[in-house]
Amino acid sequence: MSATGALTPAEAVRGALDGDKAHNTSTPEPAATDAEGVGLMLSVSARTVFRLESAGKIGPRSFRIGGSRRWAVSQIRDWVQAGCPNRATWLKKAKS
């Protein structure tokens, strides 16, 4: 939890993945998450998320908010359900 008492993006994703009912009723699922949150969704470290991103192996593109890199949670979920294709394949599917 941050100094202000708000959940970090990774904590929000963790609560949603764990099926934390108290979390889900008090705070909606985050629209975006950081590398730690994506790592939780994929069961890898944040460092591995950055490596995969750099290699073009994570389909959805990340974006920046201030100095922080974020990914859309819904896009990551859709990408996993599609079988985790590489970025080129994912972007071709998105265009069709």
pLDDT of amino acid 51: 97
Asked if residue 44 belongs to a domain, the reply is: yes
Q: Would residue 57 count as lying in a domain?
A: yes
Tell me the two tokens of residue 4: 């202000």
What domain range includes position 76?
A: 32-95
Model confidence pLDDT, tens digit, residues 18-29: 655 544 456 678
72 Cα distance to chain centroid: 6
pLDDT at residue 19, as a whole number = 59
Q: Answer yes or no: is 49 within a domain.
A: yes
Q: Is residue 45 assigned to a domain?
A: yes
pLDDT band at 93 (very low <50, low <70, confident <90, very high): confident
**What local confidence, expressed as pLDDT, does residue 64 receive?**
96
43 in any annotated domain: yes
| 65 within a domain of the structure (yes/no) | yes
- Tell whether 2 is covered by a domain: no
